Structure 1
Amino acid sequence: MLDLSKIAGQIPGISQHMHKEAIASGERLELAKKLQQQAASTQAKLIATQADFRDRLLFAAATPIEPLDRCFDIPIAPYSHSVFATDGSQISPSHHEIAYCYLINIGQIMIHYGQSLHPVLDSVPEVFYKTEDLYVSRQWGIRLEEWMGYRRTVSEAEILADIACNWVLPPGEHYDTPNLALVDGSLIYWFLDGLPVEARDKILPPILAACERLRATKIPMVGYVSASRSTEGLNFLRLQTCEHEHPNCVVNCGDLVNNYPCQKIDSLRDSTFWSSQLLPGQRSPLYRSNLRILDLYEDAQRVYFCYVNVGTEIARIEVPAWVVEDKDLFDRSLSIVLAQVHKGYGYPVALAEAHNQAVVRGGDRARFFGLLEQQLIKAGLRNVGTSYKEARKRGSIA
């Protein structure tokens, strides 16, 4: 039990710290606005410099492909369209439970607008209990809980491609209706960058194969990132502040431990900056992400992003290159995303429903292990039950 009276004395210190951070953030924001105007006038030169010294930069900077000082209006969504979405949840393995296994539950959503069709709200659970499922990640030093998250990401992508592609392929008349595949979170699987090659090759290829299926069926895939903490876009402005002839961080600045000019906007988030620039229903310029993991993607699947004022927040919207190359498709995709947010009262309704279908609550967990216990007893196994530690934690004498 948390004793609030014992931490009450720490709260004023937190508020004072946050007040100072707010003042510092305001100063960084004003500096970023000035740098934006300066960089907009020399944007082509900065992009060329970035390309020449990309491998010498000690920070990840995205490349703007539209004027930095422009904001773009998002059109109204078409009356008839379909939205597909998935999200996942899981039951983690525990040695104190009845059996050492884990479960991944994927919520799948299909909502049709202006077509007089019923929505599909469903979930697809899968239990992993075989030796190769439970211990394969040990050879790479990856914890099972972490590996389970990677497997869940694969399942989300594959099921999203299944429900979307199987819907629009038969029969052919569905091609005329705009479609959108929504992903909760980023399309950049940056967390795989530090994995051993053998481990990464079991996760990334099936995800990219699912993305390729969507491209072949011409269903735009969009990643919706809420409360983004990224600084990738603003990092491009750091090139404008460089006081050296060439932005060679490795040679000129070492490990950036000193207070260099380019670090003055270092902790300012892209979303914070664009909140001061965008009106509701507007988007920022498009950026091409240059994160290293994207070198493993095909050119058509490389990720671009922009920031959109959806009314309740500044959301980061990510799309693959093939969607960006078709301006009408890109604009239509953004319009459907914005309509989803409005229908969901601040968050895309399809993603919210996918989460609701996927989430595994305490009662679901108890029923799952109860069902498993019945089957184990029926199979003739004895001494089936939780550990004494787990049983004791579930009931208190207090």
Structure 2
Amino acid sequence: MLDLTKIAKQIPGISQHLRVEAAATRQRLELAQKLLIQAKSQQEEIVNRQQQWRDRITFAAATPIEPLDTAIEISTPPEGHTVFATDGSQLSPSHHEIAYCYLINVGRVMLHYGQSLYPLLDSLPEVFYRPEDLYVSRQWGIRTEEWMGYRRTVSEASTLAEMACRWVNPPGAHFDIPNLAMVDGSLIYWFLESLPAEARDRILPPILEAWEQLRSVNVPLLGYLSASRSTEAVNFLRLQACPHETPNCISNCASLTDKLPCQVIDPLRDAALWTNFLQPGQRSSLFRSSARILESYQAHRVYFCYVNVGTEIARTEVPEWVALNPSLLDQALSLMLAQVHKGYGYPVALAEAHNQAVVRGGDRTRFFALLEQQMIRVGLKNVGISYKEARKRGSIA
């Protein structure tokens, strides 16, 4: 039980720290705006230096493919359109439960606007209990709980593509309605960088295959990041702030143990910088991410931009085939913005996909009760949770 009277004594220190940090952030923001204006005047030259020295730069800096001060008004979405979304949740395996297994539940949402059609809101659960599902990741030193999260990412992508392709291109029918496939979070799977090649080959290829299916039916894919903590775009300004003739981090700054000379605006985030540049309904310059894992994405390399959705500066990510198609990019952003407005600050399709996917406490109890009944029915004995788990579920206090 949390003792709020003891917590209350620590609150003044937190508020004082936040006040000081807010003042420091304003100073960083002013400096970042000056650096952006300077970088815009020689943007092409900086991009060339970035590409030339990319193997010697030790931080991830995205590459702008439009002028840095771009602020484009997003068009109004058409009345008739369809939005697809998926999200996932899971039950982790536990040795204290009646059976060692885990469950992945993927929420599916398909919302139609201006078409007089019923929506789709449901979920697809799958239980994993075989040894090859539970222990395969241990050969790479990956815990089952982590591997379960990676498998969930694959299920979300595959389910999204299957749902969208089945609707957009059913046998004997053709639809000419603008649509959008959305996921909650980044399309850049940073966790893949640390995985062994064999493990990565079980995760990334099925995701890219799902994206290719969306591409084949011309359904744009968009990842929506609320309250993004990314600094990829701000890091491009570090190239402008670099005091050396070339951005050779390894040679110029390898011996430094303190803050690097180009980190004059750290830890300013991208979303904070674009707050003063974008009006509601506008998007920023389009950036190409420089994350190294994207070298394995082939034709699906990720681009991103920031959008003032009215309630916040959101980061939106799209594959290359969407980013380089102006009409498809505009379609994706306009439908995304409409979703945010319908959801009062957050895309309604993503919120509903989450609600369909989430496994609540009552769902967990009913799942294991159903499993227990089945185990008893087939003649298994001594079925039950551990004494530790049983004791933790009650209190004598």
Same fold (TM over 0.5): yes
For 1:172 and 1:51, the matched residues in 2 are separated by 48
2:207 maps to 207
Q: Which runs of 5+ in 1 are unaligned?
A: none
2:344 maps to 345
**Alignment length, in residue pairs?**
397
Q: Which amino acid aligns with 1:322?
A: W
Please state whether the residue corresponding to 2:391 is helix, strand or coil: helix
2:271 maps to 271
For 1:319 and 1:240, the matched residues in 2 are separated by 26
2:19 maps to 19
After TM superposition, the structure 1 = structure 2 runs for residues 1-150 of structure 1, keeping only pairs within 5 Å, are 1-150=1-150
Q: Which amino acid aligns with 2:66?
A: E
Please state whether the residue corresponding to 1:209 is helix, strand or coil: helix
Per the TM alignment, residue 12 of structure 1 is displaced from its structure 2 partner at its CA by: 1.6
Q: Which amino acid aligns with 1:100?
A: Y
After TM superposition, the structure 1 stretch with the greater mean CA deviation from structure 2, 91-100 or 4-13, is 4-13
Determine if contact 2:281/2:309 at 8 Å carries over to the other structure: yes
Per the TM alignment, residue 40 of structure 1 is displaced from its structure 2 partner at its CA by: 0.4
For 1:256 and 1:62, the matched residues in 2 are separated by 24
1:354 maps to 353
For 1:255 and 1:88, the matched residues in 2 are separated by 44
After TM superposition, the structure 1 = structure 2 runs for residues 212-227 of structure 1, keeping only pairs within 5 Å, are 212-227=212-227
1:375 maps to 374
Matched, 1:387 2:386: yes
Q: TM-score, normalised by structure 2?
A: 0.98
For 2:19 and 2:172, the matched residues in 1 are separated by 58
After TM superposition, the structure 1 = structure 2 runs for residues 187-266 of structure 1, keeping only pairs within 5 Å, are 187-254=187-254, 256-266=256-266
For 2:257 and 2:276, the matched residues in 1 are separated by 29
After TM superposition, the structure 1 stretch with the greater mean CA deviation from structure 2, 362-371 or 200-209, is 200-209
Per the TM alignment, residue 255 of structure 1 is displaced from its structure 2 partner at its CA by: 6.0
Q: Which amino acid aligns with 2:40?
A: A
Q: Which amino acid aligns with 2:389?
A: E
Q: Which amino acid aligns with 1:275?
A: T
Please state whether the residue corresponding to 2:250 is helix, strand or coil: helix
For 1:255 and 1:333, the matched residues in 2 are separated by 45
For 1:211 and 1:260, the matched residues in 2 are separated by 39
Superposed CA deviations along residues 268-311 of structure 1, whole A, max 9, x for unmatched, are 0000111121111001100000100000011x200000000001
Per the TM alignment, residue 24 of structure 1 is displaced from its structure 2 partner at its CA by: 0.9
Per the TM alignment, residue 264 of structure 1 is displaced from its structure 2 partner at its CA by: 1.1
Superposed CA deviations along residues 18-66 of structure 1, whole A, max 9, x for unmatched, are 1111111111000000000000000000000000011111110000000
For 1:58 and 1:28, the matched residues in 2 are separated by 22
Determine if contact 2:304/2:316 at 8 Å carries over to the other structure: yes
Q: Which amino acid aligns with 1:312?
A: T
Please state whether the residue corresponding to 1:308 is helix, strand or coil: strand
2:325 maps to 326
For 1:139 and 1:173, the matched residues in 2 are separated by 47
Please state whether the residue corresponding to 2:36 is helix, strand or coil: helix
For 1:333 and 1:37, the matched residues in 2 are separated by 29
For 2:142 and 2:10, the matched residues in 1 are separated by 37
Determine if contact 2:69/2:277 at 8 Å carries over to the other structure: no
For 2:173 and 2:269, the matched residues in 1 are separated by 44
Give identity over the alignment, percent: 70
Please state whether the residue corresponding to 1:51 is helix, strand or coil: helix
Q: Which runs of 4+ in 1 moved over 6 A?
A: none
For 2:327 and 2:137, the matched residues in 1 are separated by 43
1:335 maps to 334
For 1:260 and 1:120, the matched residues in 2 are separated by 52
Per the TM alignment, residue 260 of structure 1 is displaced from its structure 2 partner at its CA by: 3.4
For 1:61 and 1:260, the matched residues in 2 are separated by 15
